[in-house]
Structure 1
Amino acid sequence: MKTIKIILFLLFVINCSYSQEKKQNDTIKIEINSNTKTIYLLGGIASVITKEDLAFGKKYNIQFHDFGCVAPTNFKEYEEKNVWVFEFLNKTFGKQWQKEIKPSVLGFDKWKKK
């Protein structure tokens, strides 16, 4: 009886994790296809979004999301979302935007080195 409960529990856990991963990938696709793209930032107690960031956002139709002092648990997912936005900006605006964005944006340094 215990083994049956354990097997059912494991099947439930595996199914939940697969469903969550699929939802995350679907979320990335939805965000990439939306009109306004979001770049995610790791901040601190005070907001790290500056006037220059807001001007950049207006120029390239980008919005910024600052996590504040609480980093997300799925850090990699937000890096991946930012990479999609970087690729979109490259295809749409060329490389000029790279000189204007702050280098501390989540995942930008890794992406630029590739």
Structure 2
Amino acid sequence: MNFKLIIISFLFTLASQAQEKKQNDTIKIEINSNTKTIYVLGGIASVITKEDLAFAKKYKIQFHDFGCIAPTNFKEYETKNAMVFEYLNKTFGKLWQKEIKPSVLGFEKWLNRK
């Protein structure tokens, strides 16, 4: 019985590490591209709404919903989002801040950074 639990635990750990590596590789690619991505924490159902899609089209960004597998490195994604928020401020002024949903990862923290 213990052997089965060890095997299951090992497989779960491998799957988690593979998911985290995939997420880290994605960030490295995005930092070097012109694509601006805002990361959101989802769940079983997507949290990206039609209003979010309209926002993305208007401001030429995209959203990435993590779904039910939340990242382990929140600070990295908050930092990435903060870079996009700065880009939006520089490119479009502050109007976009009233249009984005406040639950976006790191948005409230970024607003209150001063």
Report the TM-score, using the length of structure 1 for normalisation: 0.72
- 1:32 and 1:84 in contact (8 A); partners too: no
Superposition deviation, residue 73 in structure 1: 1.3
Aligned twin of 1:59? 58
Corresponding residue for residue 34 of structure 1 = 33
Structure 1 segments of 4+ aligned residues over 4 angstroms from their partners: none
- Deviation per residue, 1:41-82 (Å, 9 max, x gap): 000110000000000000000100000111111111111100
Counterparts of 2:80 and 2:43, CA distance in 1: 20
Structural mapping, 1:24-103, within 5 Å: 27=28, 31-32=30-31, 34-103=33-102
Measure the CA separation in 2 of the matches of 1:100 and 1:108.
Answer: 12
Query: 1:108 deviation in Å?
Result: 0.1
* Contact in 2 for aligned 1:32/1:85 (Cα 8 Å): no
Aligned residues: 90
Gaps of 5+ in 2: 1-23
Q: Which has the larger radius of gyration?
A: 1
For normalisation by structure 2, the TM-score amounts to 0.72
Specify whether residues 59 and 66 from structure 1 end up closer, same or farther in structure 2 by C-alpha distance, changes over 3 A only. Answer: same
- Aligned CA RMSD, in angstroms, stands at 2.0
